[in-house]
Amino acid sequence: MKLWELLYSSFGNRCPRCHKGKVFKTDNPYDLKNFDKMNTECPCCGEVFEKETGYYYGAMYVSYAWMAGWFIVTFTINSYFIEAELLNYLIFFFVSVLILSPMTFRVSRITWLNFFVKYDPEKSKCIKPQQDLNQ
Ligand SMILES: [Zn+2]
């Protein structure tokens, strides 16, 4: 797993195997009625996204890691450049975590998928026409 493959797949809502099909049905993480709706399998290569019951429990740890990274980055920027008081920074941090939570949910699940599914350029030749990729 290369870093750019992980980032492209996770932040682009793309299947980790083919990088063409979409994992989530909608690209908008702030479509709050549908942001968590996943395709059961990749519309392009047929990779199954729901491997077993409880498969995505591990994504909670990935979510924790992404948020720890967010904390480190924002805390460092605040400490060296902005120098806001600690309470103001903490308010900013928790509000930003709330605002980012739909995106974190999706990115964490796709990152978790990337741990177990390797990118295969041969699979990127879709068997279905391009317009069916949005299912
Ligand atoms: Zn795919």
Report the chain's terminal Cα–Cα distance, integer Å: 26
Ligand 1 centroid from CA 47, angstroms: 5
pLDDT for 76 equals: 97
> CB within 8 A of 89, min separation 6: which ones?
74, 75, 78
Given pLDDT bands bounded at 50, 70 and 90, which one contains residue 99? very high
User: Does position 122 have pLDDT exceeding 90, yes or no?
Assistant: no
Lowest-confidence region among 19-23, 65-69, 81-85, 121-125: 121-125
Q: Can you tell me which residue has the tokens 């904390």? A: 71
Given pLDDT bands bounded at 50, 70 and 90, which one contains residue 18? very high
Ligand 1 centroid from CA 17, angstroms: 5
Ligand 1 centroid from CA 30, angstroms: 23
Ligand 1 centroid from CA 125, angstroms: 9
Q: Per the confidence metrics, is the pTM higher than 0.75?
A: yes
C-alpha distances in Å from residue 102, one per residue of 45, 66, 67, 111: 26, 13, 12, 14
89 vs 121 pLDDT, higher one: 89
Ligand 1 centroid from CA 12, angstroms: 13
Ligand 1 centroid from CA 6, angstroms: 14
C-alpha distances in Å from residue 123, one per residue of 9, 21, 85: 14, 10, 51
Nearest to 135 by CA among 45, 44, 56: 44
Please provide the average confidence, as pLDDT, over all residues in the chain: 92
- Describe the chain by its helix, strand, coil percentages, rounded to 5: 60, 5, 40
